[in-house]
Structure 1
Amino acid sequence: MDPFVANPSLITSGDGWTEHISKEGRKYYYNTLTQESQWGKPLSLQTPEEAQILLKTGWQEFSSADGKSYWFHSATKRSVWNTPKEVEEMLKSLKEEREDWPQFKTKDEAKTFLVKLFELKKFPPRISWENASKILESDRRWSCFSILTRGERKQTFAEYMGSRGKRAAEEERQKRKKAKDLMVQNLLDWKELSFKTTYIDVADRFHFEEWWTWMQESERDDFFQEWMFDNEQMFKDKIKQRRRDDVAMLEEILEQNPTEFPFQKKWSEVKEQLLSHPKLQNMMKIDVLQVWEEWVRHGYEQERKQRQAHNFRRERKRRDAFRELLQDAIDKGELSSRTEWASFVRRVEGDARYTAMVGQSGSTPRELFTDAVERLKHHHDNLKHLLKRAAEKAGLDLKDPTLSFNQFYEVVRGLEDVKNINVLHVKNVFESLKGSGELQSSKSSVAHADNKQRNSRSSRHDEASSSSSSSSSSSSSSSSSSSSKAEGRDKERSDRDRDRDRERDKEREKDRDRNRDKTEDSRSRKLHKSYHDRSSSRAREAARDADGEQPRKRRNVEEDRRRRH
């Protein structure tokens, strides 16, 4: 029988079995009587130890082609290279059986070795003394315990079995506890575990584990059901975390592919593309929809903010351009503290820097014009006070009708504060000084004259003019304070513009909420009216039926009366 080769027999038995070596170097066995061959050693060729090992453990030793020994289990068909633990214990027990035990001199010593013999025999848990003694009598070491009476041997056996039962129960309890711990650990490591997982699913996955057999079927099932019930919150948290991870994944996909998924697209246009994405296969459809809605809302919100920022920058540039227009007019002498808005508009109505400001939100052209005029008035007051003092110091008589502007300008033009001032502004101050009749050198008379001159200009600036002309020293400090206030008004107006934009956005949100509430109220009123109309209709029909029933009854009564007559 290939690959067997009929080499000379190494071992023979009386029933025809012989041991041979194949051409691969493996041992095989051939029966000369039945013409059969096999790899495993026949029972007739096995040693007593090999026979007992095969009978009690199911393991049998074989040799591979390279001469290396391995063990094969006849029931489970499992093979291992190393000697199984059961075989090692069996070999140890057989070796101890061959040992010669001495005749014991004391009963305590005899009882100690008797317990050892009980352990070597590995009796089943519920074996009786009679059956155990039969097994012990076949052991040649049993005769060593002649010092003990049969009753003492039985008592020792009972104590041993009781103690072993307790140890076995504790070992079993520890084994079941360890099995539960291992089961929990494996469940926690199972990524596919969910609140829908059944015991059958668990059994299909873990039935091959060693710890699976450490508990009874009913105990495993009950423990699994209790564990699932106790960890319900864990599953809820696990689901929430998975949903959060899916949402984060989808948000990352949208952010990394803005051109593929622009927020201007409709849900119907991207639905199939998102739901079929390989990374979103386990994501709930409602979560995909909600993330897309948030993506669209965020996109339009960013677009609105960008548009708002663009408009703000454009309006700011227009305001800056109009301020440049005002400054150009001041430099040219076309704008002074006495310039009226109407006359200024007629001069600049064709300028693009003015027309761009018309109708713009925020500060109006007139407000910016008013601020510029206010600054000019404060500057005019300061310059007036300065030039007056210079004229008085030079000995000029401002009451002299023959005093010309050229004479006045020749005196004050050398002042440091006058060098960079337009001559027209200096002339306006000169005319103001000449027209006011301020000749007194005292501070109180100067303040009174300034106050009177300002009151004649415009009632709109009464309070500012009177405060600036109360005294020469207080005029200077008031002018600088008012100037700083005027500079601060620009910043306040910019802040006011931003606040106005924010308030406008809030009002739009409120309008949308009010419109939504109105729509819902209207729908509710329509439903209520429809219900009321149906109820009223049924009531009218019932009333008509009732009204028609009464004449019918009267007619029937009259007909009965006529028949009786």
Structure 2
Amino acid sequence: MSATGVQWTEHRTPEGRPYWYHSVERRSVWEKPSELKTPRERALEATPWKEYKSGDRSYYVHSVTKQSTWTLPAELKQILDQYPNDGFAAAPPLASSAVASPHVGGNTQSPAFARSPVPSQSPFPAMGQSSPNHHGPAASSTRGAGFNSPNQLHRPGAEPASGSNTPIPNPHTASRAAQSTHATTSGSTEVNFKGDKEAAETAFIQLLRDTHVDVDWTWETTMRTIITNPLYKALKTIAERKAAFNKHIEALRRQRATEAATRMEVLKPAFRKLLDEDARIKSYSSFATAQKYLSATSVWKQAQSEQEAREAFEAVMREKQQAEREQEDKVKARNREMLMALLKTFEADVFTRWRDAHRTIVESQEYTSDALLPRMDVSEMLSVFEELIRGIEKEADAAQRAEVEAKRRKERQNRDAFKSLLRKLADEGKIAARSTWGEIFPLIRDDVSLLRVAGQAGSTPLELFYDFVDSLDQELERQTADALQHISKTGHTVTPTTTWSEFLEWTTGVNVPVATLEQIHRELVSYLEAEQERATVEARKKLERKFRHQIEDLRYAFKKVDPPLRLQADWDEVKQKMHDTHEWKQAEKQDERVPKWAWEKFVRRQKQKLLDSAESVDAKKRKDAPDTPNHDKLTFEETLTKRLRRDADEDHSEPEEGEV
């Protein structure tokens, strides 16, 4: 051993944890100094693998890849085989004064507070001494013992306590934090991080670890516990301290969750095998039942608590129940497919009854010889039968819809053929605007397209004809408007006396066929003549309304004249007999046409009355006529004479306004 190595002495805390004290530098560390390590320990330290404990078992974590394993890695095994004399990470024998503290200046002191040395290495537990990362197996957490720094900066004179198993995030930061903490000769501690907030936060979090602050601690409780420690002032503000506290608590929670998940990954396969091999445990068994039968087994005891065992049990049971459900679903799907295929062989239709189908199924060879089909519930079989019937009904409906669609398509084709016939007749000039069905029917009465449309649903041939003629009428109206616009531009106006040659000359250059122009001329002239006649009639009605009293007076005079006037008399005869009467003179004074209007109205009214009277007499004669054929009959002249005399005795009648 080198002279440097002799300066280190090994000691142990009351809890049995070893630490090493440097007699010259007056510092103590938890990690074994490299000067004291054997070649085997140095070789193991050079590897990225670190050893951890979970109860009595060891596991190994790769510091780079974070991989964890329960088995000894090949790299470590090779080193152990190369140096077979020492145990893996074994502690060297204690110094001759294992319990006694080294003597410095004649005083017997613990190395931790002999002079409160400033350590050259991190005084906190090394990274490799914490629980494994979340990739590794579960590791037990040491709780209850004091987690104090080996230098005991906050309590001079105390022994180093058992180390914390929570790793420091950054060893270099921890080293800076330790180097920023100095002790005075009087034993008080000075904290000065010189603005290194990261180191200050690391020191504060290490204080929380050393104080055993757990996830269920509140900030108030934590503050009361650590407020007297000099490292409490490593962070300057309450907000920074509380943020570091929350960060520490969150890290603890994540670590516990990771450790629990890692342990569960190990426990679940073992529990699954244990539960599968025990016939007493079913998929519906409770945790209490499993605990009753299996709590004494080694697998069950691997769980650190009853809650952990319950979680592993429930996870395995969920998997078993899910597997059973999936198997049941597969059997159910297979039975449904088999039964559906069996039903289809029976040629069922929409009128098949379930009772008959069920009897046929249970009596079939396929059903009785199958091992799984008889296990089907009747309700499940009925569901398959209903599905089959729905499929049959769907196919029948589809066939019916296809038939209806084909019929509709055929009817549409028939209508299109009839429309083509009408278009052909229009091209030949046999159908034009204003054409009537009576004009066209003789031309198409024997055509097959007419017969097909007449015998089907939908639009009738007459409706199709009217639609076609309406389209021709609309086209004619458009062409008429174009022709009239062209005539208006030439400065002409169509009148009832406009000839065809004039109209044709005026419409030269209009994009309208000559045959259509001829029809337009004919209809325009006819329309204008009708309008002219209507205007004449309206003017006469207006005059009649104006002179109605003179007309009615003269009509009354026609009734009272003696001898009576004949209705067949000409106008000159009437004028000769009546021109000296007062009524005639008054009417002629207003307008010379008034007497003639009065006579025309008188004749029209008398003839209508005679016709009504003759019909009434004929009806009465038919009712009261005797059987003899020589019954006297009134002649037309006798009836007329009697009626005129009777009318002469009647009072003046009210005139019918507006009659011509």
- Shorter-chain TM-score: which interval? 0.3 to 0.5
Using the size of structure 2 for normalisation, the TM-score is 0.29
The structure whose Rg is larger is 2
* Higher RCO structure (Cα 8 Å, ≥6 apart): 2
Structure number with higher helix proportion: 1
Using the size of structure 1 for normalisation, the TM-score is 0.33
